[in-house]
Every structure is written in C-alpha cells, then in structure tokens.
C-alpha cells in the first residue's frame, strides 16, 4: 500500500502531521507493507527564490491578524508541536519559497534518503532556525542528511528535479488539494490535515482491509 503525503517544509502543521502520521503508522496493522512518498506543495510559490519574509509578519498579512494575535498563534503552534515531541522556535523565524528545498527532497528520494532529507529540513527550519532558502544552506543540510556534497551542489545549481516538483504541485491542484498536509492512500482514500495518530491508524487499517476484499 502506498501513502502519498503532500506537504510544504515551511508548514508547521505539516511537520506536526508527519509526526502524528508516523505514530499512526506504527499503530497500524501490517505497517511494514506501507510505502510512504512525500509530494511537493508550495505555500509561497510567488516569493522569489532566496528571498525570505518574517514569519510573524507573514501571519499578520496572510490572516489579517494584529501583532499580539500573530504572537499568540505562534506560541500556540509551539505548544502544539511540543505535545508531539517537537521543538518549534517560530518567533524570529522566516518563511520563503521552498522550490529548491523540494528539489533536494527529490534528490533524496533518488538516493534512497527521502525521509532523512525531509526530516533534516524540517528540523533545521522549525527547531534550529537555519535557512532552507539558499543553495549553500541546503547543501550543508543535504550532507548532514547523508547525501553527497558534490551531488547535492550539482543538483541545486542546475535544474535537476524541477519538473518533478512542478508535476507534483500540478497534481495537487488536479486532486483539489488546497491545504496541507494531505494524505492520499492508494489513490482511493484521503485524509486532510494533521489528524490524530488513532485516525491515521484507522484509515490505514480500513484501506488495507478494503484492498483485501476488493474484486480483482
């Protein structure tokens, strides 16, 4: 069984959703048979590559919040993440265009390290407040995730995996995905949002049970 996860690396709910899904997967029956593939989605596709915007200010602009409301939203998100064992530092953080970061995830997939690369990017962005928006920073993180430095540098400098990322973004639109994280199970079932581990486990078990009784 295949689970495709559309997400963006600057989306805090996507990191929380990743953790909750992983816990749900561990609870599910026959979880060793589940293949997980991460698909690209962009929250800030119009931002120029390499440009960043303050996370707090972005919340104020995007949702029409006051300064205090944006701060309260950041603090609540940090508490939500902490409940999942994640350490978020949103105050003082930035957001930006993640196209190149998604290309790096694709390189990781090609080298059998997709999960490690994605996890390293999430932790760098949300916990360490390290940049994931320029090639030098991405190359360093790629090496820390286990990729070859020259391989990562060459992929980022050229157009490697650009079409793959664009195709996944287009596919998300075709599937009607307007928010992430979004989980698609065997192209038959969908779970939207960072749901509970129990709900993920139930969805996986149901999908596997339905697949066993489906006519061939």
Work out how many domains the chain is built from and give that number: 1
Q: What is the extent of the structural domain holding 75? A: 10-213
| Arithmetic mean of pLDDT, 20-45 | 96
| Arithmetic mean of pLDDT, 86-95 | 97
Q: Are 211 and 40 in contact (CB under 8 A)?
A: no
pLDDT confidence of residue 212: 75
Residue with the bigger pLDDT between 105 and 216: it is 105
For the chain, percent of residues with pLDDT exceeding 90: 96
Tell me the C-alpha distance between 193 and 196, whole Å: 9
Residue 4, in any domain of the structure: no
| Arithmetic mean of pLDDT, 23-38 | 96
| Arithmetic mean of pLDDT, 63-85 | 97
- CA dihedral sign, ordered 187, 189, 193, 194: negative
Residue 1, in any domain of the structure: no
Confidence of residue 22 (pLDDT cuts 50, 70, 90): very high
| Arithmetic mean of pLDDT, 95-111 | 98
Residue 3, in any domain of the structure: no
DSSP states of the chain: -EEEEEE-TT-HHHHHHHHHHHHHHHHSTTGGG-EEEEEE--S-TTSPTT-EEEHHHHHHHHHT--HHHHHHHHHHHHHHHHHTT-----TT-EEE--HHHHHHHHHHHHTT-HHHHHHHHHHHHHTS----SSHHHHHHHHHHTT--HHHHHHHHHTTTTHHHHHHHHHHHHHTT--SS-EEEETTTEEEESS--HHHHHHHHHHHHHHHHHS--
pLDDT confidence of residue 156: 98
| Arithmetic mean of pLDDT, 103-129 | 98
Tell me the C-alpha distance between 5 and 204, whole Å: 13
Residue 207, in any domain of the structure: yes
Residue 5, in any domain of the structure: no
Residue 2, in any domain of the structure: no
| Arithmetic mean of pLDDT, 39-62 | 95
Confidence of residue 214 (pLDDT cuts 50, 70, 90): low
Residue 170, in any domain of the structure: yes
Res. 215: pLDDT tops 70: no
Give pTM, 2 decimals: 0.96
CATH value at residue 197? 3.40.30.10
Confidence of residue 211 (pLDDT cuts 50, 70, 90): confident
Res. 166: pLDDT tops 90: yes
| Arithmetic mean of pLDDT, 191-200 | 98
What value does the mean pLDDT of the chain take? Answer: 96
Q: Radius of gyration (Cα) for the chain, nearest Å?
A: 17
């Amino acid at each position: 069984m295949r689970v495709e996860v559309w997400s963006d690396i600057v989306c805090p709910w996507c990191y929380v959703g990743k953790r909750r899904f992983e816990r749900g997967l561990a609870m599910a029956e026959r979880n060793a048979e589940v293949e997980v593939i991460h698909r690209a989605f962009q929250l800030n596709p119009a931002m120029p590559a390499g440009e960043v915007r303050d996370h707090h200010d972005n919340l104020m602009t995007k949702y029409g919040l006051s300064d205090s409301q944006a701060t309260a939203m950041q603090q609540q998100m940090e508490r939500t993440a902490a409940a999942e064992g994640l350490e978020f530092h949103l105050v003082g953080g930035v957001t930006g265009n993640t196209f190149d970061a998604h290309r790096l995830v694709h390189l990781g997939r090609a080298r059998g390290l997709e999960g490690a690369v994605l996890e390293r990017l999430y932790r760098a962005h949300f916990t360490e407040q390290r940049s994931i928006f320029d090639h030098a920073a991405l190359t360093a993180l790629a090496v820390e995730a286990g990729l070859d430095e020259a391989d990562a540098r060459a992929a980022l400098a050229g157009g490697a995996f650009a079409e793959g990322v664009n195709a996944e973004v287009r596919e998300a639109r075709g599937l009607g995905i307007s928010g992430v994280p979004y989980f698609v199970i065997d192209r038959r079932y969908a779970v939207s949002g960072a749901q509970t581990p129990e709900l993920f486990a139930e969805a996986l078990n149901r999908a596997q049970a339905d697949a066993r009784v489906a006519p061939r």
